[in-house]
Amino acid sequence: MNPSKAQILSILSLFCLLIPLGMFILWTKVFDMADEHIERVAIYNSYLPQFMETRLASSGISILFGILGIVLASISLKTSHRILSAFNLLCIIVGGSVLILNIWSLL
């Protein structure tokens, strides 16, 4: 694979993983803002666009972007550049962790 294409895929992977990671960080920040779960969900939903206010929509988008980020990082992982390969491996590990947390939250 061309090194410039691998870099572009790595950057796209990072941006795709920032969405579920940002949503997870937002939930952890909102969790400390209220005592009751219903209040926490209302505060969390107030930060999201209207089409993402349902639990399945926000989780679905987060899972979709997590899978997309992992796939892009795994395609770019096949490069011979060590730093880029290490970065893509880190993206796969972080993306997999956030993906597991999102799937666990649906149970």
Q: Output the pLDDT for position 70.
A: 93
Non-local CB neighbours of 104 within 8 Å, separated by 6+ positions:
none
Contact 95, 73 (CB under 8 A): yes
* Average pLDDT score over residue span 15-36: 90
Compute the average pLDDT of residues 31-48.
Answer: 89
* pLDDT at residue number 80: 64
Q: Is the pLDDT of residue 1 over 70?
A: no
Global confidence as pTM? 0.86
Give residues with Cβ within 8 angstroms of 33, minimum separation 6: 39, 40, 43
Summarize the confidence of residues 75-97 as an average pLDDT.
Answer: 87
- pLDDT digit string (tens) for 55-71? 788 888 999 999 999 99
With bands split at pLDDT 50, 70 and 90, how would you rate the model's confidence at 13? very high
The structural domains of the chain, with segments of one domain joined by +, span 3-106
**Sequence-separated (6 or more) residues with CB below 8 Å from residue 63:** 20, 99, 102, 103
**Who wins on pLDDT, 3 or 49?**
49
